[in-house]
Amino acid sequence: MNQQTTISRVTTGMPVVDAAGTEVGTVDLVQRADPNAVTVQAPTADPGSSLDELIESTAVEEPDVPADLAARLLHGGYLKVTTEPTGAGAVYVPAERIATVTDGRVRLDVPVTELPAEE
């Protein structure tokens, strides 16, 4: 089964386990591949003085990782997984790291320690 078929079977709220069987967390966001994705660069100019402009300039774009990694994730598809037990952080799972989606659970082919964390 190809990566896009596999990721299309994932839904938010599904539990995620890594290659070692360790519970990683739950799927918070499913982003299918977009070969035409354009990554957003940080603004270089003053965002302006209005509150709306300030809020817009600080809004977090997904995925919240360095630009080169964001481009790869957007082009290939990814999952954002809220990590357990606190749910205080998140990791990003590139579509190619999804081993299987069975029994309402996502199993990865790498340990959680190899996944990029949200910045």
In a domain, 84, yes or no: yes
Name residue 16's beta-bridge partners. 25, 106
CATH number, position 58: 2.30.30.240
Number of domains in the chain: 1
In a domain, 119, yes or no: no
- What is the C-alpha separation between 109 and 101, in angstroms, rounded? 12
In a domain, 97, yes or no: yes
In a domain, 72, yes or no: yes
Per-residue pLDDT reduced to its tens digit, 50-109: 555 544 444 558 899 999 999 999 999 999 999 966 566 899 999 999 999 999 999 999
Write out the residue range of the structural domain in which residue 93 sits. 3-114
CA proximity to 83, closest of 2, 3, 12, 28: 28
Q: What is this structure's pTM?
A: 0.78
- Residue 81 and residue 27 in contact, taking contact as beta carbons nearer than 8 Å: yes
